[in-house]
């Protein structure tokens, strides 16, 4: 799963030569064997490394503050979102929905790695949402729809249909 995601990220970043990854442990943590000897371990570490390789460091945030916010959501993705339980999914959707209420992107005013990895990580959840749930988490859905249509992001994942009109009265929730 994480490997597919990394290869999509490579394409998204415009890296020509695909890297070879392996995984380690029960949780299948991705490992990147690079030429400099030591291996890189962990999705966030590897993804950040790829961004630097592609010389797109703006995707990690364009100021110290933004970089911290990006890091924080990357961590949220791998600690909270990955492998979360059924009940936890609702908490996460609720938190993200509140967070995204006044935001277009996860961090700052432009697309960052946090958007990409959060999108890859939450895709299977949004995919399963019923129309009514998509509306309950309207801000997440809006952000999600935006990111899945962001040029070059989607790759290995099927698009999720998002209705353009609201079908449920908002007062219900």
Partner 1 sequence: MKLFVSEGNPHCVKVLVVLELTGVKCDVQLVNHEDKVVPFLNRPVLPVLLLPSGQHLFSPNAICQYLFEVGGKEASNSSSQFLEWEATELQPVLIQALHMVALQGKTHDAGLVLKGSLSWLEQCLSKRRTQFLTAETVTVADIVLWAAFYPILADPGFSADLGELQLVRDWFERVGLIPACVRASQKVLQGKGLESLKNFLKKQPTPHTQRKDSQPSTNAIETEDLDPAMTEEEIEATAQAWCKGLPDCPDAPQRQHPILPQEGKRNVLVTSALPYVNNVPHLGNIIGCVLSADVFARYGRLRGWNLLYVCGTDEYGTATENKAREEGLTPREICDKYHTVHSAIYKWFQIDFDYFGRTTTDRQTEISQNIFWRLHERGFLLEDTVEQLRCERCQRFLADRFVEGVCPHCRYPEARGDQCDKCGRLINAVELKEPQCKVCGQTPVIRTSKHLFLDLPKLEGDLEQWLERSLSSGDWTPNAKHITHSWIRDGLKPRCITRDLQWGTPVPHPDYREKVFYVWFDAPIGYLSITANYTSQWEKWWKNPQQVELYNFMAKDNVPFHSVVFPCSLLGAQDNYTLVNHLIATEYLNYEDTKFSKSRGVGVFGDMAKDTGIVSDVWRFYLLYMRPEGQDSAFCWADMALKNNSELLNNLGNFINRAGMFVSKFFEGCVPEIVLREEDKCLIAQVCWELKQYIQLLDKVRIRDALKCILNISRHGNQYIQVNEPWKKIKGGDNDRQRAGTVTAVSVNMACLLSVLLEPYMPTVSVTIRAQLQAPACCGSAMLAADGCFLRSLSTGHRIGTVSPLFQKLGSEQIEALRKRFGGQQPEEATHAGEVPIGTASSTAPKATATAEPATNASVSAADPQRATQLAAAVSEQGDKVRALKAQKADKSVITVEVNKLLELKKELALTEGKNPEPSPQKGKKK
Q: Which part of the chain contacts partner 1 (CB under 8 A), choosing from 9-17, 38-46, 147-155?
A: 38-46
Instruction: Pick from 76, 105, 111, 120 the residue near partner 1 by CB under 8 A.
Output: 76
Q: What share of the chain is helix, strand, coil (3-state, %, to 5)?
A: 55, 5, 35
Q: How far apart are CA 103 and CA 166, in angstroms?
A: 20
Q: Does 59 bind partner 1 (CB under 8 A)?
A: no
Q: Does 169 bind partner 1 (CB under 8 A)?
A: yes
The alpha helices in 14-153, defined as continuous H runs, are 43-53, 64-76, 86-99, 113-128, 131-136, 138-148
**Is the distance from CB of 164 to CB of 123 less than 8 angstroms?**
no
Instruction: Pick from 12, 13, 43, 116 the residue near partner 1 by CB under 8 A.
Output: 43
Instruction: Pick from 124, 149, 152, 156 the residue near partner 1 by CB under 8 A.
Output: 124
Q: Does 3 bind partner 1 (CB under 8 A)?
A: no
Calculate Rg over the CA atoms of the chain.
16
Q: Does 68 bind partner 1 (CB under 8 A)?
A: yes
Contacts of 114 (CB under 8 A, 6+ apart): 69, 70, 73, 74, 77, 105, 106, 107
Q: Does 149 bind partner 1 (CB under 8 A)?
A: no
Min dist CB 108 to partner 1, Å, is: 9
Task: Output DSSP code: residue 22.
Answer: E
**Is the distance from CB of 127 to CB of 158 less than 8 angstroms?**
yes
Q: Does 141 bind partner 1 (CB under 8 A)?
A: no
Residue 12 or 121 with smaller CB distance to partner 1:
121
Give contact residues for partner 1 (rule: CB under 8 A). Answer: 27, 29, 38, 40-45, 48-49, 64-65, 67-69, 71-72, 75-76, 78-79, 82-86, 89-91, 93-95, 98-99, 101, 124-125, 127-133, 158, 161, 163-169, 172
């Amino acid at each position: 799963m994480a490997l597919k995601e990394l290869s999509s990220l490579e394409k998204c970043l415009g890296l020509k030569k695909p890297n070879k990854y392996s995984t380690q442990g029960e949780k299948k943590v991705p490992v990147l064997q690079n030429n400099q000897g030591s291996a890189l371990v962990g999705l966030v570490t590897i993804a950040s490394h790829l961004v630097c390789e592609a010389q797109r460091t703006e995707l990690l945030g364009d100021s110290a503050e933004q970089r911290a916010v990006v890091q924080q959501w990357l961590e949220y993705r791998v600690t909270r979102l990955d492998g979360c339980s059924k009940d936890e999914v609702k908490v996460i959707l609720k938190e993200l929905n509140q967070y995204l209420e006044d935001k277009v992107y996860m961090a700052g005013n432009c697309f960052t790695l946090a958007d990409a990895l959060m999108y890859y990580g939450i895709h299977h959840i949004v995919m399963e949402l019923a129309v009514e749930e998509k509306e309950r988490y309207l801000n997440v859905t809006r952000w999600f729809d935006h990111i899945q249509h962001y040029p070059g992001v989607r790759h290995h994942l099927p698009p999720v249909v998002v209705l353009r009109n609201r079908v449920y009265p908002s007062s219900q929730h």
